[in-house]
Structure 1
Amino acid sequence: MKFDDILKNVGEFGPYQRRVYLISLIFKFTGSWATLLSVFINAPVDHWCATPEWTPGCEQYGFSDEACALAQKEGSIPSNYTSDGELEYAQCEKYNVSGVGFWPGIDPSNYSSETMSCDSGWVYDDSQYKTTTVTEFDLVCGNGELTQVSQSIYYGGFLAGSIFFGILSDVIGRWWTLLLANLVSLVSGVAIVFSPNWWFFATMRFFMGSGSISFNITFWLPESARWLISVGKYDKAEKVITKVAEVNKAELQKPLFTKEFMVEQERIRKEHRPTGLDLIRTPRMRMRTINLVFICTLSPLPSPIPSYVFHGLLFVRMVNSMVYHGLSLNSSNLGTNDYVAFAITGGIEIPAYIMDIFIVEFFGRRLSLFFCLMLGGVACLSTAFIPTGVALTTVSMIGKFGIAGSFAIIYLYTVELYPTNIRGVAMGNCSMFSRVATISAPLVLILAKYWDPLPLVIYGSLSVIASLSALALPETRGKKLPETLEEGEQFGLNDGEKGETTSETVHDNPAFSMEDEK
């Protein structure tokens, strides 16, 4: 009996699966805090050059602190009117006020037209944020990019932690690995509060990211029964399946694994032990993986189907990850209240995920992914023509809605496209490149200094391209998932059929034989 048949027997989403889902939800709840707190701790703050020469200088005139700061700003900082008619003050230069005394209504044109850099630091507008990394470490005027660099370093910790703690869990066990990873997150998270400089802050963010990712890679949850079967651990797989059946109050057909089934599985494993090389070893898997990485680069090896059928999944995942995190981090740059914009940015994901539940079953994975990516892309591109404010926030949230929807679908889709025995390797490969894309997401936001809408235009363009790439992927809805490399080679060839494949049909195909694996 194959695992898909067993799963239908015990229940595909019964009380047991809901219990595991709830446990995952609780542990993942605070994980987003560590990732997205940079929206606030790295938030941009209005600033202008400090003029210590005029401190004190307002007391004798009876000015309040706010009125004094404004008067000194008007008398020492260059300003001009924007095309919208708003008065804009320079942030990185000031008039030379050395030897000039302050008085109310002082006019810079009366004493100097010479400007200079902010040699005495900056004054920060604390009306919204009392303290951020910008104000603490003076991340302005040439150092402003470091706010996004620190977030990229945090995502770099994701990548490093995925590799390190993934390997460590196989050496010392998952429980100890999870404990160590959480200890790293705890220590680095507390240490951040006492950061003396940006370098220390960025380093602690790296370790915080490496520890936080442990919730994704260490399964304090029950082991996958499908994977246990694929590696021949039938006793452990039977225990997991029996537990599922007990909780779901389902009757199991005995025996779960016949002698013939186990002999056949053992024969397959002996002929070929799954490794990372399986992603490129056989013709269709090789084309699928190469095209995932290089998008439209065609494999030179012969195949009975066009290679474009399998191109794009990794590209789609990379774009999806970049745009999702980029839009999340960009909520403080939408021209409205940061807290309101952030709340809407997060809240918009809820209806997106609810929508996913229905559209993936009604329209299938491929069209659903296409729709969500296209919606997100078009919305992001539209922001180039909308001024900051409520309208921009609304359109940006439509973009986030689409990207959030695709972000959830892509995880389901990736799992279903690869056979069981190399699914873990494939997921790891896709996740690694997704991490690389995530690292670049904050850096794209830096480009706003050249043109404000540029980051969203880049995100939108990539989303549109990725949506078109998604159309070339095979549909997986309602089909039995491949469990071996041979079945994976056949998967998606006959979309008009029910997708049920066997190793016999694979060996009948002249384009594939076990010799290709050797």
Structure 2
Amino acid sequence: MALDDLFIHIGELGRYQWYLFILASLGTVVCPVTLFSQIFYTVPTEHWCSVDSWGYEDCDIYGLDHSQCEEAQRNLSIPWSKDTGYDECNMYNVTGLEFDSDGINDELDVIECQNGWKFDQRESGRTLTAKFSLVCDREVLIHVGQSLYFIGCLIGCPLFGALSDRIGRVYAWGFCITQSLVFAITMLFANNFWTYTVMRMLMAMSNYALWIIPFVYITEIVGYSKRMFVGLLVEFFWAGAYLTITLLSWILKDWMYVQIAVIGIHIISYPILFLVPESPRWLLARGNFKKAEEILTVIARRNGKEMPPNYKSELMDEAKLREQELQSKVKPIDLYRNRTMLLWTCILLVVWFGHGMTYFGLTFMSGELGFPFYPSFFIQAAVEVPAYVFCIILLSYVGRRNPTSFFTTMAGVACLVSVVMPPGVWRALMIFAAKFAISVSFVILFVYTAEIFPTAVRGFGLSFSAIISLIGETISPLVLVLSHWWPPFPMVFCGLLTIVGGGLVMLLPETRGTMLPETIEEAVALGRSKQRIPSEDYEEVKV
């Protein structure tokens, strides 16, 4: 393509593009810190039934201070077991009975909490779990809230993706961060669970786009041979944001302070919008040749290069090619008319669904491993860093199909093995191994999917795959609800789903060493060993 030829002259990934890459990548961190923050707002908090008729003044006659009084009332009103400790959701029926520090309630009936709960937040810090009483039969609301967040993402992802195509990457980026910031602030003042959840769902509509739009921008400001590399490198900022929000939550242990930090990250991201130019590819696609020429000239000058003498005619060729692509007869429906492409598309959708569900299912399960809460999340975030490094090596020297199949299956096996492990270190290790494996295969899957779909429907194929993944992410918190009836269900379900997906991947073609297919016929040829599309100019992932 003409613009990619021009980037070869002015720098495919020169100094100025590195500068833009870092700024845009920093802009992506708003999405993961917002996404993962909810997990730390609903940290498990020690609780027990409140006895409405007993006040602390009842302890005065026994000479008990506040903490002693609370402990005495707890001992008298809450059933205790040496295996499970104090019951969190039931109490003795002390209705009509006055507090007596010497009383024994072993013979009283046990009933469900009648007057709410008391919370001990000394270990967990101030949480939404305590503020909105998200415990016992209300604990399911935590998972409902996460699912509604992903529903917001499902609505906003195509909406704001289309907006960025219409008004530009930078303007759409600014619109999204403003909307996300407004609802992030209103969440601080929500006085009930449903108000808070609706505000967060509205924030999610633009929040996920704050990952997608900068990601697209990054791939549009570099040359063809560097797109895969920067697309992989930006994933490290996701992992860094995951680690950052985990550490902030661990240190602050107060949901309001963490939310204020999230708001601060939104605000700090604003100057980026004034430091990055509009995408020259988008400008050319919209016919704004003059502005595109200005930006490309700046890129060349900052990279220490000169624009080639015939660049204007090349830009015109680019515009003509874009017009030809828009007039192409290949439509998304054609994917389903060809039996081979239909099979491959169905396989990819199953695999994307399984990855979305398993990645976030493992994330949400971190607090239930019999392992310390914050260290568990920190390790899950940390394993993504070596996973991304490993992806670059695999894509460069091994390929796409076999690594995707192997690590998808590995994640499933680790999930199933975790079921038979007792809560504690060994179960946690299996979950960490599964998270590492699914992180590796997820990143490779992005590249692999783009290389299977032909050019005319590649955008549709990737977008549709991402939506299917989001559906899996939306369902993943609800699957965890079923663990209340059968605790192993989430890991068994995710394990079997990913093992099936890993096996199905082996029915797809290997795309390493091939040119990107332009037509459905060329895509189908990928699956025939004697008709593989040669790539004389093929270049591996390099810096």
Short-chain TM bin: 0.7 to 0.9
CA deviations over 1:187-219 (Å, ceiling 9, x no partner): 111111111111101101111111212223435
Is the alpha carbon distance of 1:23 and 1:388 closer, same or farther for their aligned partners in structure 2, counting shifts above 3 Å?
Answer: same
Is the alpha carbon distance of 1:105 and 1:394 closer, same or farther for their aligned partners in structure 2, counting shifts above 3 Å?
Answer: farther
Q: For 2:328, which of 272, 278, 285 is the aligned residue?
A: 272
C-alpha RMSD of matched pairs (Å) = 3.5
The 2-side partners of 1:435 and 1:446 are apart by 18
Is 2:344–2:508's contact at 8 Å kept on the other side of the alignment? no
Give the structure 1 partner of residue 341 of structure 2: 288
Is 1:182–1:211's contact at 8 Å kept on the other side of the alignment? yes
CA deviations over 1:398-422 (Å, ceiling 9, x no partner): 1111111112111111111112222
Is the alpha carbon distance of 1:274 and 1:369 closer, same or farther for their aligned partners in structure 2, counting shifts above 3 Å?
Answer: same
Range with greater deviation from structure 2 (346-355 or 313-322): 313-322
The 1-side partners of 2:41 and 2:385 are apart by 25
Is 1:492–1:499's contact at 8 Å kept on the other side of the alignment? no
Name the amino acid aligned to 2:526.
Answer: F
Is the alpha carbon distance of 1:40 and 1:267 closer, same or farther for their aligned partners in structure 2, counting shifts above 3 Å?
Answer: closer
The 1-side partners of 2:137 and 2:124 are apart by 21
Name the amino acid aligned to 2:335.
Answer: L
Name the amino acid aligned to 1:204.
Answer: M
Give the structure 1 partner of residue 91 of structure 2: 94
3-state SS of the aligned residue for 1:99?
coil
3-state SS of the aligned residue for 1:218?
helix
Is the alpha carbon distance of 1:167 and 1:13 closer, same or farther for their aligned partners in structure 2, counting shifts above 3 Å?
Answer: closer
Deviation of 1:361 (Å): 1.9
Name the amino acid aligned to 1:53.
Answer: S
The 1-side partners of 2:521 and 2:305 are apart by 32
Larger Rg: 1
CA deviations over 1:48-76 (Å, ceiling 9, x no partner): 21112232233333434344333322221
Where do 1:422-437 residues align within 5 Å?
A: 422-437=457-472
Where do 1:451-470 residues align within 5 Å?
A: 451-470=486-505
Does residue 30 of the first structure (1) align with residue 21 of the second (2)? no
Is the alpha carbon distance of 1:270 and 1:376 closer, same or farther for their aligned partners in structure 2, counting shifts above 3 Å?
Answer: closer
Give the structure 1 partner of residue 539 of structure 2: none
Deviation of 1:376 (Å): 1.6
Give the structure 1 partner of residue 247 of structure 2: none
3-state SS of the aligned residue for 1:52?
coil
The 2-side partners of 1:154 and 1:279 are apart by 31
The 1-side partners of 2:131 and 2:102 are apart by 31
Deviation of 1:495 (Å): 6.2
Is 1:133–1:147's contact at 8 Å kept on the other side of the alignment? no
The 2-side partners of 1:177 and 1:263 are apart by 23
Higher relative contact order (CA 8 A, sep 6+): 2
Is 1:93–1:115's contact at 8 Å kept on the other side of the alignment? yes
Does residue 322 of the first structure (1) align with residue 357 of the second (2)? yes
Is the alpha carbon distance of 1:385 and 1:489 closer, same or farther for their aligned partners in structure 2, counting shifts above 3 Å?
Answer: closer
The 1-side partners of 2:325 and 2:364 are apart by 45
Deviation of 1:162 (Å): 1.1
Deviation of 1:283 (Å): 1.4
3-state SS of the aligned residue for 2:507?
coil
Range with greater deviation from structure 2 (210-219 or 365-374): 210-219
Is 1:154–1:205's contact at 8 Å kept on the other side of the alignment? yes
Deviation of 1:266 (Å): 8.6
The 1-side partners of 2:342 and 2:43 are apart by 39
3-state SS of the aligned residue for 1:358?
helix
Is 2:526–2:532's contact at 8 Å kept on the other side of the alignment? no
Is 1:148–1:446's contact at 8 Å kept on the other side of the alignment? yes
Is the alpha carbon distance of 1:321 and 1:205 closer, same or farther for their aligned partners in structure 2, counting shifts above 3 Å?
Answer: same
Deviation of 1:255 (Å): 6.1
Is 2:30–2:210's contact at 8 Å kept on the other side of the alignment? no
Identity of aligned residues (%): 30
Range with greater deviation from structure 2 (224-233 or 375-384): 224-233
3-state SS of the aligned residue for 1:47?
strand
Deviation of 1:228 (Å): 7.4
Give the structure 1 partner of residue 55 of structure 2: 55
TM-score, normalisation: structure 2: 0.77
Does residue 147 of the first structure (1) align with residue 142 of the second (2)? yes
Higher helix share: 2
The 2-side partners of 1:101 and 1:268 are apart by 84
Is 1:47–1:125's contact at 8 Å kept on the other side of the alignment? yes
Name the amino acid aligned to 1:450.
Answer: W
Does residue 69 of the first structure (1) align with residue 70 of the second (2)? yes
Name the amino acid aligned to 1:28.
Answer: T
Q: For 1:377, which of 412, 419, 431 is the aligned residue?
A: 412
CA deviations over 1:346-384 (Å, ceiling 9, x no partner): 111001111111112222111111222122211111111
Is 2:412–2:495's contact at 8 Å kept on the other side of the alignment? yes
The 2-side partners of 1:196 and 1:384 are apart by 38
Give the structure 1 partner of residue 121 of structure 2: 126
Q: Which runs of 5+ in 2 are unaligned?
A: 225-280, 537-543
Does residue 189 of the first structure (1) align with residue 184 of the second (2)? yes
CA deviations over 1:414-450 (Å, ceiling 9, x no partner): 1111122221111111111111111111111212212
Does residue 449 of the first structure (1) align with residue 484 of the second (2)? yes
CA deviations over 1:266-300 (Å, ceiling 9, x no partner): 996587345433433x515xx434653xx4xxxxx
Give the structure 1 partner of residue 430 of structure 2: 395
Q: Which runs of 5+ in 1 are unaligned?
A: 296-311, 502-518
The 1-side partners of 2:67 and 2:497 are apart by 45
Name the amino acid aligned to 1:279.
Answer: L
Deviation of 1:154 (Å): 0.7
3-state SS of the aligned residue for 2:81?
strand
Deviation of 1:115 (Å): 2.6
3-state SS of the aligned residue for 2:123?
coil
Where do 1:103-502 residues align within 5 Å?
A: 103-110=100-107, 112=108, 114-219=109-214, 221=217, 224=220, 269=325, 272-280=328-336, 282-284=337-339, 287-289=340-342, 292=345, 295=346, 312-494=347-529, 497=532, 499-500=534-535
